Each structure stands twice: as C-alpha cells, then as structure tokens.
C-alpha cells in the first residue's frame, strides 16, 4: 500500500468526520485494508500520519493533547491541526 494512498485516506476520513474530530489509525487501516489484513497496515498508517504532521496538515494526539510524533508511544489519534 502506497504512503500517498494512506495519507489521502487519513485526510479523507478527517474531512468526513468534520471539524474538531479525530480518527484512530485503526480506522484508516480497516478502511483501506482487507478484513484479515488491516493490522499489518497499522505502522504504515502511523508513518503516514507522521509525514502529514511534517506538512502541517494534521497533529497526533494522546488524551486530547498534541504530542511529538517522534517520541509518542502507545495509542494515538489523528486530527486536523487546531490552529490551521
């Protein structure tokens, strides 16, 4: 699965959810993956989210607070940048 496709899927899902809403990487993996193969997409989706953070399009959060994507461990969510 290409990184561009995953980035596009993240942005599309955020658009569909609406302003101020977030998504889980598993939402994206389930959307673009197969019923049995979505788990293998989890790290590629997280990597796509990190790339989008680098462009300023999104932020990665834990407990509702933006976090450094290079230091975060554990469950995350993805949302549009709040100041964008």
Length in residues, the chain? 84
Per-residue pLDDT of the chain (84 residues; tens, 9 = 90+): 677 999 999 999 999 999 889 999 999 999 999 889 999 999 999 999 999 999 999 999 999 999 999 999 999 999 999 875
Each domain of the chain, given as residue ranges in start order, spans 3-80
Q: Which residue has the tokens 């300023």?
A: 56
Going 59 to 64 to 66 to 71, the CA torsion angle's sign is negative
* pLDDT the model gives residue 1: 62
Give the count of beta carbons closer than 10 Å to the beta carbon of residue 21: 13
Angle at 23 between CA 19 and CA 24, to 5 degrees: 165
Q: Decide yes or no: CATH 1.10.10.10 for domain 3-80.
A: yes
Helical spans, DSSP H, in 1-84: 3-17, 25-32, 42-55
């Amino acid at each position: 699965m290409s990184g561009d496709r995953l980035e596009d899927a993240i942005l599309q899902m955020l658009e569909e959810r609406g302003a101020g809403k977030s998504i889980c990487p598993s939402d994206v993996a389930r959307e673009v993956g197969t019923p049995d193969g979505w788990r293998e997409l989890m790290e590629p989706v997280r990597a796509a989210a990190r790339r989008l953070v680098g462009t300023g399009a999104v932020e990665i959060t834990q407990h509702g607070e933006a976090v450094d994507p290079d230091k975060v461990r554990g469950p995350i969510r993805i949302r549009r940048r709040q100041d964008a």
